[in-house]
Chain A
């Protein structure tokens, strides 16, 4: 079996109720989604904006709306830190604490009565993107002529520490099941699979109390392995299907739990993406929590709410495997699900590769990083080794007994192959 069992650290937060921090003085709305930065601002300095209002568009094939998360005055554009560690242009809005909401028309009482077109419009309008970290615009997944056969709800959260989906599924079970049902009816999907880790026993019991009334939604458990939440592996494990580039080729759509809940709020209340739950955890935090925060909130402001243990720490945006080290200028964006405060350890000693082959054993993409590292200069070999399939999961770096950052080699190889075409 590919993948590897990691220590989850989920108990730090999974059974605590969600707290909230919704009153930042200013928000910094990043004008970027994924790698799409092609923005057109709809407001300018001095304008008053409502909460829930479109304040910018990102153009291109992955177009998406950028939403204001508070009401107040636009006071300019500043550069802040994006979750990938790079700088990002942000619209700065000063909070007037009135929470004035722009009215959103065309609401339906029953969320199943949307037509497919209305549904897609609603997702685009609400600025919903994959909230598990991928930030892929959700409406695109459903805009297909192909028959969607299966909807998979990804509640795996295979990265350590993160429990936002776990919490979400526990607290909003009915809403989420109702939304899955509605999405199935609107898109005429035959069946849905809710994928949860085998080890989350209490959550499984909890959901079993509700799921009975939804015939077409099946709960499936998956092994506690990293990176089980990776689409390709998840689909293979739950329905045994492989695909080439995108799941839709096989009539499959995969959504994460937080995304489903965002769809629920959009369909039911016309709410766009202005808030999300984020796991704040790590060994340096006295009280790890799940916290509801507004998009555009600066990490520095949120950190004032926390107590830290003594010592130096790294701030990580995302999980410990795929996340990046950032500074406290980090802004909250819709696809960020976790911020960690981990003790800064002295550099580990990197020793010679012993060719133990552990990296090849665990690689979920079934690559041989140990060989890729050897052939870094030989493009034809790298192509044969399928280096372009690397998903940056980091398991090779994690497992390496010689402490080599194997991922940096496979990523380099992947970029070489992709560039060569």
Chain B
């Protein structure tokens, strides 16, 4: 027999609270991706509502596929059927999926993602409560791997941002910068840290506003709707590790903050990692899982081709949930028992930090993207043929230097979509004229990568010329 009084905290309430927490985030998505571009005359009036459609349509799809599942498999009818789909939190996977995808993603692919989320992420396991992985992330992973083209870093820019920001998300920028990281190169292209905090940076439809995520977290934690330990330890681990990396690389506090406030970390940690069905239930399990996610996220952000790393980390934690819980209920917090696991975790963290910073240090001496193809010396003239990786292709160029002066800078080969902007600005002439002081030359906004690559190409060639200077003379 059940108890004769019941706590008022029902499944319904949990759902309502989640929706309340998400409302402001959805509204912000509409503001950022609909209203701002409209005000700046980048889109038509009806397009204001496109972000809303983008979020609600997948929700509708996951909900209806749950209805079909209830009808055919669970044999529910009428009101019972509707209640079944509602109590299965059926619209949440679609809602989350819409919020974590780039706004430029074609709706048809989003629909495929929503179907994958619902069917592969949930229903094949036997429905709600049985799934191992976060359904929304399964849908996300399916479309990322099948249609990776649509997830290139400039896909995350809405119509307004495309014109105002030079071509990618903050984390992609950091990745491409290699050794020349500084506040100016990382934060300034997007404004200031306040813009990071408020969410006026390129990113997925709904996961960019850190301040709204934090408010939602406080609300959800106070109402005991989510397992607060998971986001706190997850975000904490990422923060601590990036602070250490930042110190090693000689960067200020802005550096860990950029890692914290971008790439969907807060949204993922607060809304997706805390999905009750797929996360650990024991306290030690939650904390351990969160720390593992943090380490993994940092590792992936520095060492994989996907700059975000959050989705993968959460899915790995989902996979480990079973083991984490088995470890979890065996631990009765005594310091002695904790020493070894804590030491192991510290070792892993240290190696992640070493691996991540090592890469930067190497990049200081050798630019792996630069390739010297040939070098000919004719009288006082040195003719270089070299290539440098641009945004989407290798840019091949011929550069001639005579008596320390650049006499020729000719692009032989490229496949850069934004090259026209470089031409328009006469960027190459600018580079030649300022050859003695290249650090001062700004990149072309709208074609940061292409112009940056050209600049780097020239820097590398000049440094080679200066090294060999004696020979030439």
B1 and A324 form a contact (CB under 8 A): yes
CB <8 Å contact, A357 and B276: yes
Distance in Å from the Cβ of B79 to the closest Cβ of chain A? 11
Chain B residues within an 8 Å CB radius of A316: 4
B280 partner residues in chain A, CB cutoff 8 A: 357
Per-residue contact bits, chain A 7-31, to B (CB 8 Å; 1 contact, 0 not): 1000000000000000000000000
Complex alpha-carbon distance, A408 and B276, angstroms:
22
* Contact residues in B for A355 (Cβ distance below 8 Å): 129, 276-279, 281
A340: interface (CB < 8 Å) = yes
| A399-B7 CB under 8 A given contacts A354-B277, A355-B276 | yes
Q: Which of B9-17, B40-48, B339-347, B349-357 contacts A (4 or more CB under 8 A)?
A: B9-17
* Contact digits for B219-234, partner A, Cβ 8 Å, 1 yes 0 no: 0000010010000000
Cα(A325)–Cα(B2), bound, Å: 10
Chain B positions within 8 Å of A385 at CB level: 329
Report whether A401 and B3 are in contact in the complex, using a CB–CB cutoff of 8 Å. no
For window 319-350 of B, CB contacts with A under 8 Å fall at 325, 328-330
- Are A368 and B3 touching (Cβ within 8 A)? no
B282 touches A360 (CB 8 A): yes
Q: How far is the CB of B240 from chain A (nearest CB, A)?
A: 25
Task: Give every chain B residue within 8 A of A340 (Cβ-Cβ).
Answer: 4
Roughly how many angstroms separate A242 CA and B1 CA in the complex, as a whole number? 30
Q: Separation in Å of the B351 CB from the closest CB of chain A?
A: 31
In A334-358, the 8 Å CB interface with B consists of 340, 342, 348-349, 351-358
A39 within 8 A of B: no
Residues of B within 8 A of A324 (CB): 1
A370, CB-defined interface residue at 8 Å: yes
Interface string of B253-287 (1 = CB under 8 A from A): 00000000000000000000000111111110000
A394 lies within 8 A of B87 (CB): no
In contact, A405 and B87 (Cβ under 8 angstroms): no
Q: Is the CB of A398 within 8 A of B7?
A: yes
Which secondary structure characterizes the binding site on chain A?
A: loop
Query: B105-137, CB under 8 A of A: which get 1 and which 0?
Result: 000000000000000000000011100000000
Expressed in whole angstroms, the Cα–Cα distance for A6 and B4 within the complex equals: 13
Given A354-B276, A355-B281, A370-B281, residue A403 in contact with residue B87 (CB < 8 A): no
Q: Is A371 an interface residue (CB 8 A)?
A: yes
The listed residue (A353, A371, A402, A403) touching B325 by CB distance below 8 A is A371
For the complex formed, measure the closest distance between the CB of B290 and the CB atoms of chain A, giving whole angstroms: 14
- Taking the closest CB of chain B, its distance from the CB of A372, in whole angstroms, is 10
The answer to whether B11 touches A320, judged by C-beta atoms less than 8 angstroms apart, is: no
B274's nearest neighbour on chain A, judged by CB, is A356
B5 located at the interface, meaning its Cβ lies under 8 Å from any Cβ of chain A in the complex: yes
Asked if A351 and B4 sit within 8 Å, CB to CB, the answer is no
The reply to whether the CB of A251 lies closer than 8 angstroms to some CB of chain B is no
Question: Contact partner of A352 among B4, B87, B281, B283, CB < 8 A?
Answer: B87
Most chain B CB atoms below 10 A, which of A342, A355, A402: A355
Please indicate the chain B residues that have their CB under 8 angstroms from the CB of A323 in the complex.
4
Q: Could you list some 28 contacts between A and B, CB below 8 A? A: A4-B7, A316-B4, A320-B3, A320-B4, A323-B4, A325-B4, A342-B4, A352-B88, A354-B11, A354-B89, A354-B128, A354-B129, A355-B277, A355-B278, A356-B281, A357-B280, A357-B281, A357-B282, A360-B281, A368-B328, A368-B329, A397-B2, A398-B3, A398-B6, A400-B7, A405-B1, A405-B2, A408-B2
Q: Which 8 A-B pairs have the closest CB atoms?
A: A357-B281, A352-B129, A405-B2, A394-B3, A351-B87, A320-B4, A356-B276, A320-B5
